[in-house]
Amino acid sequence: MSPRVLVAEKIAGAGLDSLRAAGFDVDVRIGLDEAGLLEAVRGASALVVRSATRVTAEVLDAGSDLVVVGRAGIGIDNIDVAAATRRGVMVVNAPQSNVLSAAEHTMALLLAQARNIPQAHTDLRAGSWNRARWEGVELHGKTLGVVGLGRVGVLVAQRALAFGMHLLAYDPYVSAERARQIGVQLVDSLPDLVRQADFLTVHLPKTPETVGLIGRELLAQAKPGLRVVNTARGGIVDEAALADAVREGRIAGAALDVFAEEPTTASPLFELDQVVVTPHLGASTAEAQDKAGQTIAEQVVLALRGDFVPFAVNLAATEASSTVRPFLPLAERLGRLFTELAGGMVDTLEVAYEGHIADYDCRVLTLAVLKGALAPVLDEPVSFVNAPQLAEERGLEVREVTSSSARDYVNLLTLRGRVAGRDVHVSGTLAGRQEQPRIVEIDEHIVDLPPSRFMLVVHNDDRPGMIGRVGTALGDAGINISDMDVGRGPAGEHALMVLATDSPVSSEVIERLHAEPGILFAKSIQLD
């Protein structure tokens, strides 16, 4: 049965087509109320929403089969991310889908507020020709204060430069050098920014720390005549405080696209001629909606297939550089191979990164290792999100070790642990220009072959005839060998055979091998 994707709000048709092409059952239910959503989400593997649907802890509890919740846009304040993480549900968004549209809408509001365009339009349509009343100000030569130099903030800054504006910004997470590269001067604090700016534009996520950030106390310190623009998230600007400041003449005007409560038709700001408002139109372009629908479909497909999802917002590690990402499939397969060889869960798993890769953030690879290592011993699905929680619940301690040098290899991933008094160890790397995954060491034996869906690992005495006995047992069972390698142990008296087969090796074949003289251990392994 195909996984069901519940789409609770309208997304672009291209996104729906992508989900169907991936083989999923796409269930479009627009306009569900709370009770309807609770019923519809039961049995769904994925839930796709925009900004209107609230994905609460109750919804997540009802959706006990959910693997992923997708937000077709940037903001995720309508999703209980903490509850999703506790349940092991991945939350993904489309962070780059509407950045251009949002930046352009910011500039549109900036210009509309500076030149009183909506007010003059309404006045003229009502029969009044009031040129003097709607006199505006130029942007050229004015100082724009940018709060938050993320994707949208940078795009707005670049466009404001073209208008000849002087740019200041406050963002404690951006270096002065990076700001200089885009023509922006950083200031030390928000009060410093509002004391110097003629216009203030907000580009921050909505968090407990940012709610009410642009409030009464800050506005009291503003440069006389400041104009405030907010296209980020409602609630970051205190609407009542801003309205009071505009009425008192301390703030010359404002332009807002977002509000603390949405949808809304009542705000103290709506009564003021100096204020321009729009009903959350920042992402409302055909281009942005197409990109959001397509992007969120891609993320949902990756999540339901168990692959790494680059736009997951609740992973322990969300970064995967171009150097690290090719190692993800290898890391997951090494984790599974490790647990299969161990025959159970170890207490401590050491994950070592050696060589060039050790200079990068490898936390996402550790997640992949955990995902693979836990899968054989758990009945429930293991994902990049819930793997750390599941490991902790089972008392598995994970240690990362890094070294800039790797013996015999440019890069090497090694897993080590101990179970029932026995050491378990596997290593792998990517080889050649095509970066093909290779298993290169098992239990101190040097080998070299690609990981395969079906594998057989045999420990045996290092004496003639052993390869023939294994080959005969497999041949008699009709099992074809697609690849094979043999490695000697450090002491030389024992050897290890690793074989890739076209079909699984049955328990009967394993029993036959254990009965063969000189064979010490045989293990059938399935990596997918």
**DSSP helix/strand/coil, 17:** helix
Using alpha carbons only, give the angle 431, 434, 438 rounded to the nearest 5 degrees.
Answer: 30
Detail the DSSP E strand segments found in 174-304: 185-186, 199-202, 226-230, 251-256, 275-277
Q: Using only C-alpha atoms, what is the Rg of the chain? A: 30
CA distances from 423 to 173, 342, 401, 418 (A): 44, 8, 17, 4
Options 71, 233, 425, 438, the catalytic residue: 233
Straight-line distance from the first to the last Cα atom of the chain, in angstroms, rounded to the nearest whole number = 19
Options 58, 115, 195, 262, the catalytic residue: 262
β-strand 185-186 against 143-147: which pairing, if any? unpaired
Q: Are 511 and 485 in contact (CB under 8 A)?
A: no
Among residues 51, 27, 50, which one has the least CA distance to residue 39? Answer: 27
Catalytic annotation on 280? yes
Catalytic annotation on 166? no
- Exposed/middle/buried for residue 189 (C-beta within 10 Å: 0-12, 13-18, 19+): exposed
Q: Please enumerate in sequence order all residues whose Cβ is within 8 A of that of 362, keeping only pairs 6 or more positions apart, or say none.
A: 324, 353, 400, 402
Amino acid sitting at position 301: V
With b for 16 or more beta-carbon neighbours within 10 A and e for fewer, the 64-103 pattern comes to: eebbbbbbbbbbbbbbbeebbbebbbbbbbbbebbbbbbb
The strand pairing partners of 399, in sequence order, are: 350
Q: Are 414 and 441 in contact (CB under 8 A)?
A: yes
Catalytic annotation on 233? yes
Residue tagged 């309404």 (tokens): 122
What is d(CA 179, CA 191) in angstroms, rounded to the nearest whole number?
19
What is d(CA 334, CA 341) in angstroms, rounded to the nearest whole number?
10
Q: Are 138 and 199 in contact (CB under 8 A)?
A: no
CA within 13 Å, CB half, 255: 23
Residue tagged 């023509």 (tokens): 183
CA distances from 378 to 293, 369, 371 (A): 34, 15, 11
Q: Cα dihedral sign for 112, 113, 114, 120?
A: positive
Options 4, 50, 227, 280, the catalytic residue: 280
Structure tokens at 477: 């069972």
Phi and psi based region of residue 235 (left: phi greater than 0; alpha: psi -120 to 50; beta: remaining): left
> Which residue numbers are catalytic?
233, 262, 280
